Amino acid sequence: MFFWNKKKVEQPILHSVEKPQEFNTYGLQDILHYIKREIGVDLFAKNSIIETKIKLFCERREIYSFRKLFESIHHDSILRQELIDLVTVNETYFYREEAQLELAVSFALAIKEVKILCAPCASGEEVYSLSMMLQEKGKDQYSFKITGIDINSEAIEKAQNGLFSERSLHKLEPRLKDKFFTCKDKNYSVKKEYFSSINFTKINIFDYDFLSIGKYDIIFSRNMLIYFDDEFRLKTIERFASLLKPEGKLFLGHADIIPDNSYFTKHSDHRLSYYIKN
């Protein structure tokens, strides 16, 4: 009788082989609707980029469907915040649109105890810039207060820590860097003694609490409304109108076009614009 030299066939050890989980993409639209409803950011036009981003976000957390993510963000506030941090764009830098900042500073100098709100402030550069400019013009720290708010928790943490990269300071002349920062390994740390009049808070401008953060002489809201649709732009400026003092001024970014409304009238000063409450 002839026997084959039977080789033992290797069987895969199932538990040691990672079978990639199939991702179920059903439910993305619900997530995008949720984000828009909660924070105003309209991501529908960027559908495919955002789909890839959120899918990766899910897989890193071993969540294998958009539906599951959608359910989880309703009860998991940490996951919800991480998702918001993922989808918000925090690009900013010191002395961004300097001429507009200077115009606001010229208004601020005329007010004895001026209160300024930056909503949103991202990682804080706008707030620090305004404070630096006011001090450069001789305004002492006891005669102004600047509040920065943003919904992105990582950005607010960075603003509070006051540690910035060289790129973020690229518009600053060396004298200002030396005066207001200490530099180590190409990272710039703000000198805290110059910034006792500023504070940062994580808040959603559509939260109920936002309306009780005080009354302001000047509100900056640059480069956030571009991510909203007209309905949310109107809701936002209605909220700003209720936070502004009667003679208050609102400064928007160049690309932040607002729909016709009864809250503000647009004014121009040497090709720079701002809004006054009606």
Binding site for ligand SAM (CB under 6 A): 39-41, 88-92, 96, 120-122, 126, 150-152, 155, 204-206, 222-224, 253
CA distance 198 to 147: 6
* Both tokens assigned to 107: 């208004």
* Coil, strand or helix at 112: coil
CB of 109 to ligand SAM, least distance (A): 21
CB of 108 to ligand SAM, least distance (A): 17
CA distance 202 to 195: 18
CA distance 180 to 55: 41
CB of 119 to ligand SAM, least distance (A): 6
CB nearer to ligand SAM: give 89 or 99: 89
Query: In Å, how far are 129, 220, 234 from 256, measured between CA atoms?
Result: 20, 12, 12
CB of 253 to ligand SAM, least distance (A): 6
Eight-class DSSP state of 180: H
CB nearer to ligand SAM: give 65 or 244: 244
Beta strand 244-252 with 216-221 is parallel
CB nearer to ligand SAM: give 126 or 217: 126
CB nearer to ligand SAM: give 65 or 224: 224
CB nearer to ligand SAM: give 91 or 209: 91
CB of 198 to ligand SAM, least distance (A): 14
The answer to whether the Cα torsion of 45, 48, 49, 51 is positive or negative is positive
What stretches of 137-207 show up as alpha helix (H) in DSSP? 153-161, 174-180
